[in-house]
């Protein structure tokens, strides 16, 4: 008989809170950034691309979808913006303290996901304000959404690189102990 895999050992390894050595963390990070770059202002990229290729009803659908998302984002920013900013900074501060002062790896991992995502939220809000301020529609609207997507992808690339570097450092540090 071959070696027996103990269910408890298997589950403990799969739910390990040492995030940087856990495959699920890296899968989650990839899904997070993939979703962030696919949904610009809550509008899927394929709709933006199809509106540029086909025009007509698809372009009208894009403008309607963007209008709904812009109004929603600006309403949330106006009604609860100060509270949300304070809450996000509170959570990020707690994660920094737990992760980088007290050495909790799980808090470091969550911080390395949340901090850039808060920047993505700010970028989306800035884009929403530009759309309203410049009264964009048609090709100009599509170009702004594509530029925002590119900025999010660049931020994602930098974030994933820095997270991978920090994760390798933590794995080497933990492996040395």
Contact 29, 37 (CB under 8 A): no
pTM: predicted TM-score of the whole model, two decimal places: 0.85
Average predicted confidence (pLDDT) for the chain: 92
Q: Identify the pLDDT of residue 14.
A: 62
**Domain contains 125:** yes
* H or E segment and range at residue 1: none
Contact 38, 44 (CB under 8 A): yes
Q: Identify the pLDDT of residue 44.
A: 96
Give yes or no for residue 109 having a pLDDT over 80: yes
Q: Identify the pLDDT of residue 15.
A: 61
Give yes or no for residue 13 having a pLDDT over 80: no
**Domain contains 37:** no
Contact 39, 123 (CB under 8 A): no
> Per-residue confidence at 159, pLDDT binned at 50, 70, 90?
very high
Helices 105-134/23-38 angle, 10° precision: 0
Q: Identify the pLDDT of residue 104.
A: 92
The number of domains in the chain is: 1
pLDDT digits (tens, 9 = 90+) for 55-89: 999 999 999 999 999 999 999 999 999 999 999 99
Q: What range defines the domain where residue 79 resides? A: 54-176
**Domain contains 122:** yes
**Domain contains 168:** yes
**Domain contains 96:** yes
Q: Identify the pLDDT of residue 115.
A: 98
**CA gap 174, 102 in Å, rounded:** 15
Q: What's the rounded mean pLDDT across residues 154-159?
A: 98
Is the model more confident about 177 or about 108?
Answer: 108
Q: Please report where in the chains the tokens 């298997």 appear, as a residue.
A: 10
Q: Name residue 6's beta-bridge partners.
A: none
**Domain contains 43:** no
Is 124 strand, coil or helix?
helix
């Amino acid at each position: 008989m071959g070696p027996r895999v103990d269910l408890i050992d298997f589950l403990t390894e799969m739910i390990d809170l040492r995030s940087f050595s856990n495959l699920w963390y890296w899968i989650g990070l990839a899904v997070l950034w993939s979703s962030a770059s696919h949904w610009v202002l809550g509008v899927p990229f394929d709709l933006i691309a199809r509106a540029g290729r086909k025009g007509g009803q698809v372009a009208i659908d894009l403008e309607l979808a963007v209008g709904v998302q812009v109004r929603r984002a600006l309403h949330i920013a106006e009604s609860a913006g100060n509270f949300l900013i304070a809450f996000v900074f509170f959570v990020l501060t707690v994660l920094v303290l737990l992760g980088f002062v007290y050495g909790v790896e799980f808090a470091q991992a969550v911080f390395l996901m949340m901090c850039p995502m808060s920047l993505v939220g700010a970028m989306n809000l800035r884009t929403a304000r530009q759309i309203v301020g410049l009264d964009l529609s048609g090709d100009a609207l599509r170009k702004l959404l594509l530029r925002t997507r590119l900025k999010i992808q660049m931020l994602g690339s930098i974030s994933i690189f820095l997270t991978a570097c920090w994760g390798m450092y933590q794995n080497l540090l933990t492996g040395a102990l």
